Amino acid sequence: MAREMKESGIEWIGDIPASWKTNTVFQLFTQVKNKNSDLQEQNLLSLSYGKIKRRSIDTTDGLLPESFDGYNIIEKNDIVLRLTDLQNDHKSLRVGLATERGIVTSAYLTIRNRSESLAKYLYYYLHSFDISKGFYGMGAGVRQGLNWDEMKWLRILTPPVLEQQRIVSFLDIECEHIDAVIEQTIASVEEYKKLKQTIISQAVTKGIRPDRRMKDSGIEWIGDIPFEWDVLSFTKSIQSIVDYRGKTPEKQDEGTLLVTARNIKEGKIDYECSREYVRTEDYDEIMHRGKVEIGDVLFTTEAPLGAVANADRTDFALAQRIVKFQGMPDVLNNYYLKYWIMSNGFQQNLATFSTGSTAKGIKASKFCMLKQVLPPIHEQKEIVDYLNEKTSILDELIGKKEILLAELDSYKKSLIFEYVTGKKEVV
């Protein structure tokens, strides 16, 4: 028998069970303001990917403050919200449930349940609001962030407590199962990526022909190489290097596609992950150092460092932090060069000459200090054909796993939404 429903008055929810009530955050929570004076608490916590996790208070990575006196002491079952940078970051999960006492930055908003409702149910509700991207619609216009005075009027559904208990028990079990499958799938993806990296590294340093004469490369991280191969400075076989630096072009809603460092990953250009445009009439000025040709090697010098791909089309402009390489004809195959840059050895060599504490980068002047393993040109083509076949198989497997991850994530989100809003009932 269908439950009796009523209008919630909340646009993103719609109808709710007739027995459910609507409250505000202010009616259910108090704001937590408990300053960590004299470092009385040292269990450092941080909100990451929707989970509140421990961090080392003694870390030396330069990302933590000198003093934690201004941090906020929180308790188990407190709800922590990161409500800053709303205008730029539309992907992060912003709500976490504390599972222990500790300290968090006062830049987070921490709220404590003072009602008869279950803290875990209230967390699930706010998590659903978060993944529905509700925080971005709060307040007038584009907001840098939200504070307690703006958050306290947010409306929250409160079923009868016994029903909250059933919802929480059900979601805990279901989400634990989904999370386990997600964790296994992520581990599988990482294994495929490691295998891909191993196959590439083996092929570009040892070749693909069996039982051949080898020699010492003279470089520890390269080891033995085929006798006919050479080791030389990275730039010795490069015909041209174009470093796209200069004034950042003004972004537009349409025009000529701008490929940035974010678009280059896993050996390919992902044109959909981040779409930015520049005025078509500015294209010639942006690309005056050299326009892209099919096969050109595009290499990111920072954020991230060392991502690489071959150009498979030419109708785009390049942003800063991308360098374009072209190998010398009859000496260096551009597609082999891509695979060499992707190899473990080159990436380690690259890290040696990188600079920067948080965002590692490399200057073009350092390229000559990097090393290149160079087979004869005809053998480079053999290696490229071999790696194209092997990596395409692995990329297809990785792609299927990533589709599964997206489906699992979507299913988990819809499951939580349907039960915390009363669209489905735990029976």
CA distances from 401 to 185, 268, 325, 392, 409 (A): 6, 18, 32, 14, 12
* pTM of this structure: 0.84
DSSP codes, 271-339 = SSSS-EEE-GGGHHHHTTT----TT-EEEEEBSSEEEEEE-S---EEE-TTEEEEEEPTTT--HHHHHH
Sheet of strand 95-97, all strands in order from the earlier edge strand to the far edge = 29-31, 109-113, 79-81, 95-97
Please classify residue 340 by burial: count the beta carbons closer than 10 Å to its beta carbon, then call 0-12 exposed, 13-18 middle and 19+ buried. Answer: buried
Q: SS3 of 210, please?
A: coil
Tokens of 307: 């991502």
| Cis status, amide bond into 375, omega within 30 of 0 | no
Q: What is the DSSP letter of 254?
A: S
Say if residues 247 and 322 touch (Cβ distance below 8 Å): no
Q: Whole-angstrom Cα distance, residue 137 to residue 152?
A: 15
150: which residues sit within 8 A by CB, 6+ positions away?
138, 139
pLDDT at 63: 58
pLDDT at 309: 97
407: which residues sit within 8 A by CB, 6+ positions away?
none
- The pLDDT profile of the chain, 427 residues, written as one tens digit per residue, is 678 999 998 888 999 999 999 999 999 999 999 999 888 888 999 998 889 999 888 765 545 666 788 899 999 999 999 998 777 777 788 999 999 999 999 999 999 999 999 999 999 999 999 998 888 777 544 557 888 999 999 999 999 999 999 999 999 999 999 999 999 999 999 999 999 999 999 999 999 999 999 999 999 999 999 999 999 999 999 999 998 876 667 788 889 999 999 999 999 999 988 888 998 888 888 888 889 999 999 999 998 999 999 999 999 999 988 999 999 999 999 999 999 999 999 999 999 999 886 778 998 889 999 999 999 999 999 999 999 999 999 999 999 999 999 999 999 999 999 999 999 999 8
pLDDT at 79: 97
DSSP codes, 5-16 = EEE-S-TTT-EE
Straight-line distance from the first to the last Cα atom of the chain, in angstroms, rounded to the nearest whole number: 12
Using alpha carbons only, give the angle 233, 239, 244 rounded to the nearest 5 degrees: 95
Q: What is the DSSP letter of 145?
A: B
pLDDT at 140: 46
C-alpha 8, offset from chain centre: 36
| Cis status, amide bond into 376, omega within 30 of 0 | no
198: which residues sit within 8 A by CB, 6+ positions away?
344
Tokens of 241: 């290097």
Q: What is the tens place of the pLDDT at every residue in 200-239?
A: 999 999 999 999 999 999 999 999 999 999 999 999 999 9
* Residue 426: CA count within 13 A, CB half-sphere: 20
For β-strands 214-216 and 224-226, DSSP reports them as antiparallel
